[in-house]
Homo-oligomer: A and B are copies of this chain.
């Protein structure tokens, strides 16, 4: 198994509302590979996919029922503390909910969390110790 994952799929309760969150709200470009009830957004390196939650559970052959913490978070790395504040303000304007206001955190960065329309948790963080390449991907030491 190569050191790679290709797609993160978020199960969503109202497909069109969630597509609108990214496409109209954030202005992200949806791939023309999207069709019917699946939407793809290329993030340059990984693909974000949206798919109805009950169909995603069905596809994985698991029970769709759930409660509480999903055990997964997805992080967006901002390039400054100011950008963290801006992103958290932007997503709240289009329907996301602030979970943890941006603050200095123990590892030396500045970070906050929001949840999207379906409760998926996203961290928005500025990490002064990490650099990004020309594609806004984090550069990690090997």
Contact = CB atoms under 8 A, between A and B. Distances in A.
B61 A100 contact: yes
Interface string A116-131: 0011111100000010
A5 B72 contact: no
A82 interface: no
A134 to B, nearest CB: 12
Contacts of A136: 2, 4, 6
Interface of A: 1-11, 26, 28-29, 31-33, 40-49, 53, 56-57, 59-77, 87, 90-91, 99-100, 105, 113, 118-123, 130, 132, 135-138, 140-142
30 contacts: A1-B90, A3-B42, A5-B48, A5-B75, A6-B136, A8-B8, A8-B72, A9-B74, A9-B123, A10-B71, A31-B141, A33-B130, A42-B142, A43-B45, A46-B137, A53-B69, A56-B71, A56-B73, A57-B69, A60-B73, A60-B121, A61-B113, A62-B69, A62-B121, A64-B69, A66-B68, A66-B71, A67-B67, A71-B119, A72-B72
